[in-house]
Structure 1
Amino acid sequence: MRTTTVGDVTILLPDLDPEGLHQITDLPDDDLHDGLMQDASWRGQQIADRNFRGCRITEADLGEINWEGGALYGCEIVRTDLSGAALTGVNIERCSVTGSRLTGSRLIDVRLKDVLFGNCRFDYATLNRVSAAGSVAFTDCTLVHGTWSSCRLSGVALRSCDLSDLELESCRLDGADLRGNRLHAFAAPLDNLPGVALTENELPELDRMAVDALNIDVRADASRGHGR
């Protein structure tokens, strides 16, 4: 059993046997088990109610795919282009996604369990009603200019990520580990963030969010510099 730990979150990783994988080039018409997709291009393809299990997808072009229903289980996705992809109602479990590009992607009603995103680009991505049913971590990811709404991501780990200009609306990140992130212009209602873990370096950004949320009028001290 392969695992990795990000902060306090331990994730079960896929444990693939490279010799047991068979090469796949074209998108199959049904479920796929133990496939190896390398340098394949499925750009713009439609995928419905398809299950991939124990597969490795590496250096593939899956940009602008539209995947509805089905599941990814025990899969590795490496250095793959998923920019502009739309995943709706997909279950992702015991998977790792590393070095991949998800710029402008849309994840809707996606369920995550034991999923690691490492060194991925989620800039301008939209997450809507994405839920964490188990351990989930983002590490060294770029999440700038994204929009997350109505997500249930309690206890996730976001470590060493760039969250600049990321907007959260009606999301649950209670107990999330946000240590070591860049939070410039990060926007979230404070009641979305109960119990999150931060370092002292992130506190000024939290202060800014509190000032904005409470509409506090910060002024210079009028009495400073005047004698009595």
Structure 2
Amino acid sequence: MLEDGPSVVHDVSLAAAVGRRALPIRLCTAFTRSLGAQHATMSLFPCLEQWQLLYASDEGALRAEAAQFAHADGPSVSAALEARTVFVPEVRGADDRSHAPDWSDDLPGVRHVLALALHREFRPVGVICLYFTRPTQLPAAHITEAERAADVAREELLRWRPAHADPAGPQPVWATDTRAARWERIHRAAGYVAEREDCPVGDALAWLQTASTRRKQSLLDTCDLVLQPAGARPGGRRRAPAVAS
């Protein structure tokens, strides 16, 4: 834990210095050991329409990440869309199940979630998501330290990403598990809204999230509604309300 030894920034910096091929696992291990998490995942975005899972520490981490994609909602998705850290201090809201998010049903035993956005000038680069199954104190100072460590991780990922993404190379630097289908639908909807409203894609993504919350729908359902072909709705016209509404 942070108070008992070197900082997470120190640990992540050391992990980043040891070889590129094992970089995802080394970075995730540094975060889990320093912050006391039990599971971790790391995802990379080669472009906005792709989401590649670089590393999952175990089956529990893989299930937790898959649950968020199934609902197109959760800390990993929100951290990526909003380019900010998302901390869920109590996944199940103590004993009140009525306020628990849908994705939490698929995360049995997970108490806290910390999703660290890897971004540059609000452009998503990736996400490191940490899952805690034991009660863990994560004060604001520890989260701030983790964000600084995430910046170190981001720079190392960006340093090696060209080699990873080069199709002419003999093989990728890191093996990946792509989970792009839902992400691609979200970004197609955002692109449609952005073009219609003449606004940045980031603003369109934020509007879609707000709209899904207002309508009590999943983000994916809202995006699918936007992407309905002409004629599928009453009046025969696909419509995206103004982003500012």
Category of TM-score, reference length = shorter chain: under 0.3
More strand by share: 1
TM-score (norm. length: structure 1): 0.27
